[in-house]
Amino acid sequence: MAFLRERSGAFSPEKIVALLLVLAPLGWLAARALSGGLAPADPFGVAGGALGGGGLGGGALGADPALAARPLVEAIRYIGEWSIRLLLVTLAITPARRLFNWPRLLAARRTLGLGAAFYVVLHVGFYVADIGDLGMVVREIVLRIYLTIGFIALVGLLVLSATSWDGAVQRLGAARWNQIHMLVYPITALGLLHFFMQQKLDVTEPTLMTGLFLWLIYWRIAQRFQHGTGLVAMIVVAAAAGLSTALTEAGWYLAATGIDPWRVLNANLAFSYSIRPAWWVFGTGIAIALASEVVLKLRPLPVRRAARPQVTSRASSSAA
């Protein structure tokens, strides 16, 4: 099992945990499929109710009996949601590595990314099995825009997966390889759009996932300006992500149903009824900022020393 080992030959805890995270939802799905009766709610789910309805808790499969009347439909939805979650976890590796001074965490990124791609392939495979007619599947992908968007994301993930090995970096060169793997951002955005479009009325979880994705993007912008670990900058990132999440939710309901966006935005202040995704995103961002502040005080990042300019012999003689 070389893929679970470090270069030294020792087992990598980070790779092992990443693999278990990839396999856990499949194990849960298999358990529910084999239960034949009422099964506990999905412990990993975060889906909520419709606008103004239930909070976060309950899963993609909720408390439905086993996998409900159409098991493949439920499995398609469950696997699709987990593909988005794993993509976000993969993108979270880079900020987590820096915010918590955990360089070895980078070893888990490939396993998580390939796991997300596998889930998307499985998602499409279940869809094909449910339709039962490959020609019909092709027509649906061409004619239904949300399926077209999902298929484009699938192709993009397959390209990234095909180049996710050490030899690909050497053959393509580091610069070109990095350019190709920057596609993960538009691919994730397409996956989230696909998620929104197939959810119809209840977009609580797509909104939450989009908010977390925006937090990851905003953190990278802060990091580019050398503020990726500053407490004030992290609070600003959390606030910007939370506000963007609320605007995304309001904009989606306006475009999809014509609901007054102010009504949606006001729902974010109805704490007695539910906690909207924007607050979960903001709270998550604040929690990460505070946790990082504590960890980096106990285990500070190494100080980067500026390289001294090299002085040539000709320059030295001229100066003399």
Every domain of the chain and the residues it spans: 1-35+70-199, 203-299
Confidence of residue 36 (pLDDT cuts 50, 70, 90): low
The structure tokens listed for 123 are 């998602």
Q: CB pairs under 8 A, 24+ apart, for 289-293?
A: 289/231, 289/234, 289/235, 289/237, 289/238, 290/231, 291/99, 291/100, 292/99, 292/100, 292/229, 292/234, 293/231
User: Is the pLDDT reported for residue 45 higher than 80?
Assistant: no
Least confident of 41-50, 150-159, 235-244: 41-50
CA distance linking residue 278 with residue 282, whole number of Å: 6
Cβ-based neighbours of 99, under 8 Å, separated by 6 or more:
228, 229, 288, 291, 292, 295, 296
Task: Give me the pLDDT at residue 73, please.
Answer: 86
CA distance linking residue 262 with residue 278, whole number of Å: 15
CA distance linking residue 175 with residue 304, whole number of Å: 23
Task: Kindly report, residue by residue over 275-287, the tens digit of the pLDDT.
Answer: 999 999 999 999 9
Please state, for a pLDDT cut of 70, what percent of the chain lies above it: 81
Task: Kindly report, residue by residue over 159-170, the tens digit of the pLDDT.
Answer: 999 998 878 888
User: Is the pLDDT reported for residue 44 higher than 80?
Assistant: no
CA distance linking residue 125 with residue 306, whole number of Å: 52
Confidence of residue 299 (pLDDT cuts 50, 70, 90): confident
Q: Which residue has the higher pLDDT, 155 or 269?
A: 155
Q: Is the dihedral of CA 187, 193, 197, 202 positive or negative?
A: positive
Task: Kindly report, residue by residue over 50-69, the tens digit of the pLDDT.
Answer: 344 444 333 333 344 445 55
Task: Kindly report, residue by residue over 108-145, the tens digit of the pLDDT.
Answer: 999 999 999 999 999 999 999 999 899 999 999 999 99
Distances (CA, A) of 167 to 6, 19, 162, 171, 222: 17, 22, 11, 6, 32
Task: Kindly report, residue by residue over 208-262, the tens digit of the pLDDT.
Answer: 999 999 999 999 999 999 888 999 999 999 999 999 999 999 999 999 888 899 9
